[in-house]
Chain A
Amino acid sequence: MNAETKKLRVATTSLAGCFGCHISFLDIDERLLDLVQLVEFDRSPLTDIKTCGPCDIGIIEGGLCNAENVHVLREFRANCKILIALGACAVNGGLPAQRNHLSLSAILEEVYHAQHGLVDGFIPNDPELPLPLDKVHPIHEVVKVDYFIPGCPPSADAIWKVLTDLLAGKEPELGHGLIHYD
């Protein structure tokens, strides 16, 4: 086997997240060049591949706010040897989970119907739209998650540390300054 075929396959996705974690991932800047020597990307917003094939590492940004999020998460879990929760929303629900103490119908009414400037607004109900879940959940409440990188977003250095630890076959560890919940 040559070095080329031994590259680790990595998939990434953003569920109920803001893509901030992916942006922070890209903030590893020129280290991306080192990374692509070691990994190749499967399903990811970076490749635009739409379904996840067998992978070594799956990286999930965002929690679960609708039915589609749950399907994608299960697809990743089924295909990835190692699953990583990236960022506050994947780790504990984050900002989207701040709706959990409110009833979903009250929120939808506020957003689509009652707010300023909405005349005859109505709540979207197209069968194409994934149904929102009654509550937002972090991903470990639905599938087994192997590693967590907290932070909103986690710093590029924290993401880099976990990935390089894993690529070196070590247990990832974030010390002071890299572990952050905010």
Chain B
Amino acid sequence: MNKDVTFALSSAGVGESVARGQLDRGGVAMNNKPATFTLDGKTIPFSAGQTLIQAAMAAGVYIPHLCYNPEFKPHGSCKLCTVKADGRHTSSCTHQAQDGMVVESDTKEINDERRALLQMLFVEGNHFCPSCEKSGNCQLQATAYEIGMMSPHFDHFFPDRPLDASHPDYLLDFNRCILCSLCVRASRDVDGKNVFALSGRGIKSHLIVNAKSGRLADTGFSGEDKAAHVCPVGVILKKRVGFAVPIGSRSFDEQPISATPHPGPAAATLPPHPQGACPVGPRSNAATLPPHPTVKDV
């Protein structure tokens, strides 16, 4: 199913409206009052075709989200934006607002589910925030703060995901990819370059770079691209600017993500780091040592 099809139907909800009442629920009530739904009891107006999250954002109400970016068509994959609309779980980034809808978002039940999703994202990758250039500007981290994620809860996967530092100006740290597809959408739909793609299924899903070598340096990627500026986490990183703004003085250190509707990337310049070679000597007594226990052996 192409999600874009559902999204493009600006009159969606009309069919349902017959069953649900005397309203064209797609935007304007028959009595010509502006169409509204309630979000956690607050009345939210919307115009025809708007999704729940679009209307909520326009009204200044925060719904947690990661794969949604107002500049792009929704992807509906992270499920952080899940709300209960008339009692049913749905992604607010793909669900169109309908008149009279009763929507719950900031409830213990839904936030507990969001926390579990966040915890899974954290343990599936390698998120070592203290050394991450994105820390403090990262939407995953800031959303986890917002939802009160005190621990990753699950066992860590500790996957092995080598970096791609081949490009002169940009670094890819796949350890932090949450598969939101924003770089894919930006490169394909805005830059017209198709530099990125998601490959594999289920837990094997991963981000790939569209070059025979698989390396970013061998694509047409450049710092001017939209794709260079949309990653919500610390994967697509501009080189040589990482800690120009110190940790502690970044966007979400200043205010929580719920008060920061459209966070922008911190930009600054620093001189290049010297590159040193790592010496490797002859082999040692390693072969004679006892095997290292796993935590289960202790």
**Bound complex: CA of A92 vs CA of B130, how far in Å?**
11
CB distance from A83 to the nearest CB of B (A): 12
B286 adjacent to A105 (CB under 8 Å): yes
CB-nearest residue of chain B to A131:
B293
Residues of B258-298 contacting chain A, CB below 8 A: 279-286, 288-290, 292-295, 298
A182 adjacent to B247 (CB under 8 Å): yes
When distances are taken between beta carbons in the complex, the residues of chain A under 8 Å from B160 are 101
A101 adjacent to B159 (CB under 8 Å): yes
When distances are taken between beta carbons in the complex, the residues of chain A under 8 Å from B19 are none
Q: A105, A118, A179: which contacts B281 (Cβ < 8 A)?
A: A118
When distances are taken between beta carbons in the complex, the residues of chain B under 8 Å from A152 are 129-130
When distances are taken between beta carbons in the complex, the residues of chain A under 8 Å from B107 are none
CB distance from A103 to the nearest CB of B (A): 9
Q: Is A165 positioned at the interface, with any CB of B under 8 Å from its CB?
A: no
Q: Is A8 positioned at the interface, with any CB of B under 8 Å from its CB?
A: no
A141 adjacent to B155 (CB under 8 Å): yes
Q: A97, A116, A132, A134: which contacts B279 (Cβ < 8 A)?
A: A116
B129 adjacent to A88 (CB under 8 Å): yes
B284 adjacent to A113 (CB under 8 Å): yes
**Bound complex: CA of A114 vs CA of B285, how far in Å?**
11
Interface segment among B96-104, B144-152, B187-195, B200-208: the answer is B144-152
Residues of A124-182 contacting chain B, CB below 8 A: 125, 131-135, 137-138, 140-142, 145, 147-150, 152, 173-174, 176-177, 179-182
CB distance from A174 to the nearest CB of B (A): 7
A140 adjacent to B130 (CB under 8 Å): no
CB-nearest residue of chain B to A176:
B256
B150 adjacent to A174 (CB under 8 Å): yes
When distances are taken between beta carbons in the complex, the residues of chain A under 8 Å from B131 are 95, 98
Q: Is A64 positioned at the interface, with any CB of B under 8 Å from its CB?
A: yes
B284 adjacent to A141 (CB under 8 Å): no
**Bound complex: CA of A180 vs CA of B253, how far in Å?**
9
B294 adjacent to A133 (CB under 8 Å): yes
When distances are taken between beta carbons in the complex, the residues of chain B under 8 Å from A149 are 150
A113 adjacent to B281 (CB under 8 Å): yes
Take A112-B284, A181-B130, A182-B136 as given contacts and tell me if A92 and B298 are in contact as well, using a CB distance cutoff of 8 Å.
no
When distances are taken between beta carbons in the complex, the residues of chain B under 8 Å from A45 are none
**Bound complex: CA of A95 vs CA of B284, how far in Å?**
26
B129 adjacent to A181 (CB under 8 Å): yes
**Bound complex: CA of A67 vs CA of B283, how far in Å?**
26
CB distance from A12 to the nearest CB of B (A): 19
CB pairs A–B below 8 angstroms (18 shown) = A70-B295, A92-B127, A98-B126, A109-B286, A113-B281, A113-B285, A123-B289, A125-B285, A125-B288, A131-B293, A135-B294, A140-B151, A141-B155, A145-B151, A174-B148, A180-B145, A181-B130, A182-B129
B positions within 8 Å CB-CB of A: 122, 126-132, 135-136, 141, 144-145, 148, 150-153, 155-156, 158-161, 247-248, 253, 255-256, 279-286, 288-290, 292-295, 298
A positions within 8 Å CB-CB of B: 64, 67, 70-71, 85, 88, 91-95, 97-98, 100-101, 104-105, 108-110, 112-116, 118, 121-123, 125, 131-135, 137-138, 140-142, 145, 147-150, 152, 173-174, 176-177, 179-182
